[in-house]
Structure 1
Amino acid sequence: MLNKNITLTKLALVLSIGAATAQIKDTTALGEVIINQNRLQIPFSKQSKNIQILTQEDIQRLPNRSINELLSNIPGVDIRQRGPFGSQADISIDGGSFEQTAILLNGVKITDPQSAHHNMNLPVPLEAIERIEIIRGPASRIFGINALTGAINIVTKKIESNQISAQVYSGSSFKDNEQTSAGKYYGKGVQLGSQFLTKQTSHGLYFGHEDSNGQRYNTASNNNKLYYDGTYQPNTANMIKANVGYINNQFGANGYYAAPNDKEAYEQVKTAFASLQSKHQLTQAFSISPRLSNRYNEDEYWYLGRETTKGRSKHYSNVFGAEINATLEHSYGTFGLGLESRFERINSTSISDHNRENYGGYLEFKTEAIEKLMINSGAYINYNSKFGWQVFPGLDLGYNITEHWKIVVNAGSSQRIPSFTDLYTNQTANVGNPTLSSENAYQIESGIKYLSNRVIAQVGYFHRRISDFIDWQKEDATTGSGTVIPWKPINIGKNKIDGFNASFRYNINDPSATTRYFTTLSYNYLNPSITLADGILSKYAIESLRHQVIANFTINHKNWMFTSANRFNERISYKSYFIADVRGSYQLQDLNIFVDVQNIFDKSYIEAAAVPMPGRWFSIGAKYKLNY
């Protein structure tokens, strides 16, 4: 067959303008945030990598009610939702696939080995989140395998006071429900939180519930989340932290995976997560941090609806992880080292029973011994029971031109191991490929950064090359008997991408001003190139964003706040769309009342598969917080 070169030009212009509420921190506080990288703790102001932070204040002001919706406001992040209200979404960074982004909770990897379709099935209500860190670029040196194009780390709140909180909200499109003879489409939710301190312990318990009768035929959803965060600190040298979470998420899956024949499809995903970690400062210069974690996932899918067992599949997966990280301070710099093991198992009606083991070791070194220059180098060595040995070196350099200006250069490599679905699934429309090789990436990036009390700005360029890129493909034809040829994953070769990005964050007014504004601007340009054969259909390779524009505006005047959040997306294989959301709120002592309108212009759009997203949606709600 003749080869045709498909060059995908992706332009993402991101403009985000927001005002601080009475509690919102300025750019100085953001610069002091310590990015959680497990071994080397580096403030945001000294980072040489391209990192985005979604703060708790951002979460409070944006007209969003799920982590999926929040991340659509981050430059370089591509959220492809199959359903609203947090039911299901795929996430990728800077033109990568949804399988190439590692998801972490407080530094603990929670990536699903069955399929990254479940990575965002997270047991954490928004009320429990302190911030979300987005690390762009290969991050295997820091977090291990599957951080091919980046990582997203969700950091829960550090409990500093006794507090109870509650939030309720309800909304509707005011459009007729297609599944009932009367009534409108609607949704509602509640979030509850309680946190308290003793002399040596802190505890946070959070609950979230959301349900909706959908926004079109067979899209009703219902999910419940429960999350606990506990810390025991007997002295300043020792700390133990426990996290436990559970989510039961079920939804109508009309058009999610096999349109148009899956109109009656339904899915239920249950995820339980637990981690236990500690930190011990053994000497003034040496500390260790051991960690244990377990993630259990149960996925049940009814292709023809729950009324029949025909077309039903069920999957049970379990991941156990053990890590130990250490930091050694020396006059020349800081050494970080660590070991990890990860055991993955799946029991499935369509994938069968499989397990694999993964072992890794880290070694990093950070120094500022040379005046004005920060060097952060290291490597991660990995052994997988199926894919063997790999080494991922990396280097970050930051040179301070002046007190405020810094030049940065980064280079690194990373790996993505195929999921169990990639390797072994056996269905009528999808067949796995056990001969797949792992994906490997190399990226180099350079840029310049500026940081002052009011301004954070950066401009950068990167080049990334992925070898053995995995895509699901099939011939655009049927067999002689009329049987449709199934999709199958293959290593299609190299995936190259060049990108340019710029961002600007500015605190316009003094924090003591009655009316305040806060501005961030960012621009991203991506130019990927993939080669496909004639007559071959691709499931994922040509569905990334081509253009992305995000523009948010918030003004805070006394107790009033107004936010307008806007985004424009143009995908390679979908129509472009512009979505505008607004929020107005009023703070009355401990009570905050808000009104949201999402998709205010009632635009029709699709982010993934054949799933139209909701039209105009009105919501009203209230938040209450009481410190005691």
Structure 2
Amino acid sequence: MNSLLIRTLSFLPLFVCWMEMVQAQIVPDTVYKPIGEVIIYGNRLQIPFEQQNRNIQILDRQQIEALPAKSINELLTYVSGVDIRQRGPFGSQADISIDGGSFEQTLVLVNGVKMLDAQTAHNTLNLPIPVDAIERIEIIRGPAARLYGINSLTGAINIVTRKPSHSEVLAHTYAGTGFKRDTSNNDELFNGRGVQLGGSLVGRLGRHAIYGSHESGNGYRYNTAFRNNKIFYEGEVPTNATSALSLMGGYVDSDFGANGFYAAPGDKESQEVVQTIMAAISYRTKLSERFSLTPRVSYRYTYDDYRYFRNDLSRARSQHYGHALNAEVNSIYQTNIGDFGAGVEMRRETISSSNIGVHDRNNYGMYAEFKTQRIANVLLNVGAYINYNSDYGWEVFPGIDLGYKLNDNWQIVAHTGTGQRIPSFTDLYLNQTVNVGNPSVLPERAWHMEGGMKYLGEHLSGQARYFYRNIRDFIDWVRSGEDMPYQPLNFSGNRVHGISSNVNYQFSKPSDQHRWSAGLAYTWLSPSIDQNDADEVNSKYAIESLRQQLTGNINWGFKGFSATVAGRFNERISYKSYFLADARFAYRFKPMELYVDAQNIFNMTYIEAAAVPMPGRWVSLGARFRFVPSKSNHSSLK
């Protein structure tokens, strides 16, 4: 067979034989902490997971390695309450929302640095982070203005990258196919493949890690070929016993066939090219035993090139160049009654676009926060974020989290908070035949309240909550007739009642030869829309949220063998419901791991966004390699 899949896999036996001759001392990949000890990566007050009153879920490194996923998009599909609507698989393009919100209402961060795209949130997940570089993913549900500022209207997703404790070299290669053929290209087998490389250096000059990846393939149907290149660097250089300089940077260059992505069926020959550069530098220092300060500067550049006719670039082409510069100072002051956090930030956004124009705006924010455990059995966190936008003026967003410990395991939790979403430049100024912006559209504002129970034990953890969210001036793209363009308008309100629950159980102890664990999560949503206009309109986004979502997984391990089976059921308001089942089977032997993934095992036909059919059954083979120098050649930093 002349497919690239077979040619790629033919190298695996030689690779394994060579690796068996490598004399390497293997140390644990990650020191896994109990979930309760994980510190949620906020920019301000640092709070362990077990003390959090917010509805927070975590995908840790152990889960990331076990799940049959090779992109951030795929990983997040296994989190209940998170709605990933992929137009293209293999990490090409996806919209993300939380608990029935729109894709513009969720803020994505990398190590606390905002990946906010002022052009459009369609580019939010265009990130230079290979999966092998991720330590964990934190999902914060509900408005998070007090934590992260504007545009975290329905929640935030923070991707925390790995902090190396020793020097090492990593390699990961994989290839897959759906066993269908491309009749338009010499009957070639549809396929995809990728390689991820990484390494870390730990020593007197600090800790440094760099990761790179390349993915490509001819897709899974006509004009869905893709190519993704990513590189990511992170470093930390200690300047003294209590201070350190942190550096982060990355670049991603992707292009993919966009058949049916935005304007089906006429966009059969469309293509999209996207590039992102991100960089951040921060300095963490303790000025005294009680007072710490962290200034940070970050930058993001985005290039988006949409080609309606990929073979004729002289017409129907949209090019956008966006820049965002963010500067902030965060501080923490510890006292006998509790911890105080305060800080300021400034953000400047600019765009130069062929069909949006040239625009810029400034945003300034400041916050104050206080947490205490001085009241018996009570965990209290209260604060406010004050925002000034050059286009919309001043706003204040207060919030409070409250928890009451019934005993060492059970806790009653409650939260109420507010948030804001500034319209994107696309909302305001887009000028196309079928989509027209509205400069008079106003920011969205949300109020959210929730309450429930939380349990955290040695083997069992879980929570169940009810929440209510009311969004005023909800923005949706609508039109009153088939011959009219879509245009954003402010509806009077978007209300959502919801129930979220999850439970995880570890059946075995870490020392057991047989290891069993399982997880189950369920989200129920009841959204409603209040319209200012009595006329009937066609909506792009208001009726596309999930009504029910059920996710579950079972994990088994014995010595070097492991298996994970994961399933998810989605019932969407405007589409047919569907159930997907995936699995990964792996065998680990020093210094290698071999695995096989089976995605969409039952070959279900389903749609997540627009008119884009997703792939059927897909099978992949992969191999990971890890080389660690001898113990005497690496050292750890505390």
Q: Taking structure 2 as the reference length, what is the TM-score of the superposition?
A: 0.93
1:168 deviates by: 0.5
Q: Secondary structure at the match of 2:73?
A: helix
Matched, 1:198 2:199: no
1:26 deviates by: 11
Letter in 1 for 2:579: F
Spell out structure 1 runs of 4+ moving beyond 6 A: 22-28
Alignment of 1:44-55 (within 5 A): 44-55=49-60
Matched with 2:277 is 272
Task: State the distance in 2 between where 1:45 and 1:199 align.
Answer: 34
Of residues 256, 263, 266, the one that matches 1:261 is: 266
Task: State the distance in 1 between where 2:312 and 2:614 align.
Answer: 26
CA distance 1:550–1:26, change in 2 (3 Å): farther
1:358 deviates by: 0.1
Matched with 2:353 is 348
Q: Is the 8 A contact 1:27 1:456 kept in 2?
A: no
Which consecutive residues of structure 1, in runs of 5 or more, have no partner in the other structure? 1-21, 479-484
Matched, 1:433 2:433: no
1:182 deviates by: 2.2
Q: Is the 8 A contact 2:372 2:381 kept in 1?
A: yes
Q: How many pairs are equivalent?
A: 601
Matched with 2:547 is 546
Letter in 1 for 2:124: N
Matched, 1:32 2:37: yes
Matched, 1:502 2:501: yes
Alignment of 1:103-502 (within 5 A): 103-478=108-483, 485-502=484-501
Matched with 1:575 is 576
Q: Secondary structure at the match of 2:607?
A: coil
Task: State the distance in 2 between where 1:232 and 1:205 align.
Answer: 15
Q: Is the 8 A contact 1:270 1:299 kept in 2?
A: yes
Q: Is the 8 A contact 2:522 2:548 kept in 1?
A: no
CA distance 1:199–1:24, change in 2 (3 Å): closer
Task: State the distance in 1 between where 2:342 and 2:100 align.
Answer: 31
Letter in 2 for 1:197: V
1:600 deviates by: 1.3
Letter in 2 for 1:373: V
Letter in 1 for 2:385: Y
Higher relative contact order (CA 8 A, sep 6+): 1
Task: State the distance in 2 between where 1:358 and 1:476 align.
Answer: 36
Q: Secondary structure at the match of 1:465?
A: strand
1:322 deviates by: 0.1
Task: State the distance in 2 between where 1:315 and 1:384 align.
Answer: 23
Letter in 2 for 1:432: G
1:224 deviates by: 0.1
1:308 deviates by: 3.0
Matched with 1:528 is 527
Q: Is the 8 A contact 2:522 2:549 kept in 1?
A: no
Task: State the distance in 2 between where 1:545 and 1:192 align.
Answer: 37
Task: State the distance in 2 between where 1:308 and 1:389 align.
Answer: 43
Q: Secondary structure at the match of 1:550?
A: strand
Q: Is the 8 A contact 1:268 1:300 kept in 2?
A: yes
Q: Is the 8 A contact 2:178 2:191 kept in 1?
A: yes
- Cα displacement string for residues 147-200 of structure 1 (whole angstroms, at most 9, x for unaligned residues): 000000000101101110000011111111032122110100000001011124
Letter in 1 for 2:529: I
Task: State the distance in 1 between where 2:409 and 2:184 align.
Answer: 59
Task: State the distance in 2 between where 1:311 and 1:569 align.
Answer: 35
Alignment of 1:53-92 (within 5 A): 53-92=58-97
- Cα displacement string for residues 497-536 of structure 1 (whole angstroms, at most 9, x for unaligned residues): 1111222122111111111111222222211111355531
Which consecutive residues of structure 2, in runs of 5 or more, have no partner in the other structure? 1-26, 630-638
Matched with 1:3 is none
- Cα displacement string for residues 324-352 of structure 1 (whole angstroms, at most 9, x for unaligned residues): 00000011110000100000000000000
Q: Is the 8 A contact 1:169 1:622 kept in 2?
A: yes
- Cα displacement string for residues 521-564 of structure 1 (whole angstroms, at most 9, x for unaligned residues): 22222111113555310000001112222122221111111111
Q: Secondary structure at the match of 1:60?
A: helix
CA distance 1:606–1:111, change in 2 (3 Å): same
Q: Is the 8 A contact 1:28 1:454 kept in 2?
A: no
Q: Secondary structure at the match of 2:609?
A: coil
Q: Secondary structure at the match of 2:204?
A: coil
- Cα displacement string for residues 102-144 of structure 1 (whole angstroms, at most 9, x for unaligned residues): 0101001011100000000000111111000000011001100
Identity %: 51
1:576 deviates by: 1.5
Matched with 1:8 is none
